[in-house]
Amino acid sequence: MCSKGKEVHLGFTGETFPPGIHMCYIYNDEAQRKNVISKFLESGLLSGEKTSYFMDVITIDEMNEYFSTLGLDRLLREHEGRFSVATTKDTYYPSDTFVPDEMLDRLGVFYTRSIQEGYTGARMSGEMSWAVRNIPGCSRLIEYEARVNDVLLTYPVNTICQYNARLFDGALLFDVLSVHPMMIVHGQIVKNPYYIKPEEFLKDYSARKQE
């Protein structure tokens, strides 16, 4: 299923990357985050990619208001049909429990449908703050993030996972770094020196869980 394709632009940096880049964005500067994410989404749309954004709000009204504060309402108007917005609940845990296999399947379906519909690729970004609310299954978040890397080899969605540094503890953020090949630092993409390949990470992670 993987489409080799040409390298993609991310909007907030002049560099290009192979499709299927998996980035973590651990942030504490809201203004910088808005700038990075808006440019990332806009770049995907201008490149002909099916683009989606998952925000951690509860109601449609909250979504519309928050979307406006991000400065992304213009993108939604100008690219209607090519740009979708959803809540993190509807995306990550629609049945009130986070199940990694189900979310990984949705990732593959998103890419497959995007290509079938004639898009050049697929792009998404999700806010991960839902994972701090003790939702059933959220303890498997890092397992999911590690496994995303294998899924993207077949379904190369360009992905930014957003983590608010004020909400997550240091140990979990270090695990987040361990499972993302790339990270965003001061608005630039950096090859992550802490990255561990999925099979190796999950073996060690499973052992730690059993201790």
Contacts of 105 (CB under 8 A, 6+ apart): none
Query: pTM of the full predicted structure?
Result: 0.90
Per-residue model confidence (pLDDT) at position 81: 79
Nearest to 161 by CA among 197, 129, 205, 201: 129
What pLDDT is recorded for position 1?
Answer: 53
Contact (CB, 8 A) for 179 and 198: yes
Which amino acid type is present at position 12?
Answer: F
Cβ atoms of 189 and 17 within 8 Å: the answer is yes
Residue ranges of the chain with pLDDT lower than 50? 2
Q: Which residues pair with 189 in a beta bridge?
A: 184
> 45: number of CA atoms within 13 Å, CB side?
20
pLDDT at 47: 92
Whole-angstrom distance, CA of residue 204 vs CA of residue 193? 18
Say which residue the tokens 């049909």 belong to: 81
Question: Rounded distance, CA 52 to CA 45, Å?
Answer: 10
pLDDT for the residue numbered 38: 86
Cβ-contact 49, 122 below 8 angstroms: yes
Name the residue type at position 198.
Answer: P
> What residue ranges do the domains of the chain occupy?
18-210
Please name which of 159, 157, 133 lies closest in space to residue 23, comparing C-alpha atoms.
159
Three-state SS at 155: coil
18-210 CATH: 3.40.50.300
> How many whole angstroms separate alpha carbon 40 and alpha carbon 51?
10
Tell me the pairing of strands 121-127 and 49-55. Answer: parallel
